[in-house]
Each structure stands twice: as C-alpha cells, then as structure tokens.
Structure 1
Amino acid sequence: MYPSGSKKNHTHGDPKFLSFESFLEAWSVRQIRYLDELLSVQNSSCEARQIDHLELIHRVLYHYQQYYEEKWRVAKWDVFLVFSPPWLTNLERAFLWIAGFKPNLVFRLVSSSVDDMTEDQSRRMDRLVAETRLEEKALDDELAKIQERVGAPPLANAIRRHGRTSQDGETAGGGGDDSALGGLRRALEKVVANADMLRATTAEKVALILTPAQTVKVLVAVAQLQLKVRSLGLQRDAERRQNGGY
C-alpha cells in the first residue's frame, strides 16, 4: 500500500512502526467499506431511519478516533516522525497541518456537500468557524515558538545527534535524550495532542449542528477526498520513482 522508498530507513524493522503500518493497512480497508455504507445510506431511495444514520455516524467517527489514538502511540515513541510520516505519500504530507488535517477543511467540505442548512444552522456554523480559526491560530503561534527554539545551539546540536542516530539504524524513540531534545519532544507532543483534540472536537461539533442526513453527506465528502488524494499521491510517487526522482 505504501510507495517503496517513502519510509525512512531507521523505521524499517522497528516493532512500533511495523505495528502502526499493519494497523493502517486494516484501517484503510475499513475506510473504503465505511464509504460504501455511507454512499448506500445517502443514495437510498427510501427514507432511512434517523437511528440508522446516527449508528453509522458514530461508527465512522470512532473509526477516525482509532486512527488518532494509534498515531498518538507513534508520536509518543518518536514525535518527529508524525510531522513527516513515512506512511503517507509526498502529496498527502504536503497537506499536513501539525501532523494531521487542518480543522478548517471540514467547513469547506460542509459548504461543498450540504446545500440545505437552515438559517439557524448557518449562524451556528459561522460561529464555530470563527472559534476554530482562533484555536488554529493559537496552535500555529505555539508551533512557531517551538520552531524559534529549535534554532538555539543546544537544540540544533541535539537534533543533529538525533538525526545521526536515526541514520545509523538505532531506535529513534525511547529514553536517553539530553535535556534540550527532551524538552523539544515534550513541547511537540503537547502541540500535536492539542491539534488532534481540536480536530476531534471540531468534527463532533459540526455533527451536532447538522442533521444526521447532512452529516452523512459530509462524511462521504471527507472519505472521498482522502481516498482521492491518497490515490493521486501513490500515482505521482510511482511516476517519480520511474523517472529516478527518489
């Protein structure tokens, strides 16, 4: 599933990375199945019961929650890895915002897939958009402060040593960090955790504003976009390898 050459050498054979790789293979298969279920409900000629919509929505949201829980385990092992994850294609990595999707993307998909919101829904959604943008900016500012610290000599030296250790094939995560690198790890772990929390709460709040049928439309759009970007990314990476780009 993953383009050869996309994984960093220091991850090969590491049990934690291989465990996540296996998880992601199975997770992606389930995602396709969930998309089929969502499309079936969306395209059904008869009016599906609201309880059926809600049950499917809860299962799909839990499916995404599982991804972020598993990714967090990798972040705790080596937080640097989730900022440029080797399990994603180059195209997918280009869309990353603090190790995941930018929450504001959800609102774009709502706008493009839901055309029957009431005035009250629109007002509530507008307020949520404004609140989310403020929280995104706060996280951007926090990450910028961390990046400024990286330029300090102790941190720069620690990161270079970390890079040499990774290239030598030793485990990237674990203990043994000096104080500078350890502090950077903890700061990055915190900002990733907060970004993941914002992603999750944004999705939940959007689902509370929309009707179950509208939420199904958004979840269809999310899955279709993710799968489309993934497919295009794999295609481009394969072409790049054929042309000697790796």
Structure 2
Amino acid sequence: MSFQRFYQTWYDQLKDVIRQLSQVPRQPTNDQQHELYRQLVQKVMSHYHEFYRVKSSAAKNDVLTIFAAPWATSLERSLHWITGWRPTTAYHLIYTESSILFESHIIDILQGLRYGDLGDLSPDQLARVSELQCEAVQEENAISDELSDWQARGPHPSPFSYKILIA
C-alpha cells in the first residue's frame, strides 16, 4: 500500500478517535469515564506511533515522496515552505549523500565495483541533477518574490474597519 493511501485511512481513523475523545467529559466524573478517557488517549498515542513507524518505513523506500507529502493540504505544504523545507533541499541531500558514498567507496569504484546507490552517479547524471536544481531554484525564487510582493502590500483595512475605529 502506498503511504498516501495509508495516510488517508490513518487520518480518517484519527478523526474518529478524536471525535470519540471529544465526547468524553474533560473532567471525568466517574471511574468508567476516566478509564474510557485513558483508553482513548492511549489509542491516539498508539495511532501516532503507527503513523511514524509506517512513515519511517516508507521513507526508506522513497524519501523524496515523504518530503514532498502529496497527501498534505495546501496549508500544510505552505508551512513546510515557511519552516524552510524547499524542493531544493532535496538536491542538497542528494549531493551530500552521493559525496559521502563516493568517498567511502572510492577504492571499489576505481576497481570497477558499483553499489547501485548515489555514490555511483555518473558525471552526466550529476549534470542533470544540477540542471534540475537550477530550474527548481528559479521556481523557488519566483514563488519567494511573489510572496514578498504580497507581504509588502500588507493587509489593507476595509472601509468597515474604519467605521469601527471611528465609533
């Protein structure tokens, strides 16, 4: 099952558990309510544990998809952007990992051995990665410029807000 399909099922189950949890009084008045509350909190904790276990496993298979998070909402993806995760971050990871692997296998590589990992990238492949990175940087810069323009314009109060200030 793809992580995206897992996530949708997981998220639907989370909504259900949260709905159940919201129906329990915040201050349980008897032992039965207290036990139900404890069980539901444990269920939420186990649910999140499962999420990170599956996500970790999925990242081992396809880390870029996990970072891109196609299942995330626009708001969630914008928060990634705001906190510093940009598509070009993936290129930095590729360069770093390929350098580390190349250096650790240099003797084997010189003898013609290949490992099938990022350390085996050919000069042509690295050039293509570099071209893609340049394209991504241009797109990121365009988005950043647009966001800067939008932020510079700032919020403009509506005529209604002036009426409130006057009153």
TM-score tier (shorter): 0.3 to 0.5
TM-score (norm 2): 0.46
TM-score (norm 1): 0.33
Structure number with higher relative contact order (C-alpha < 8 Å, ≥ 6 residues apart): 1
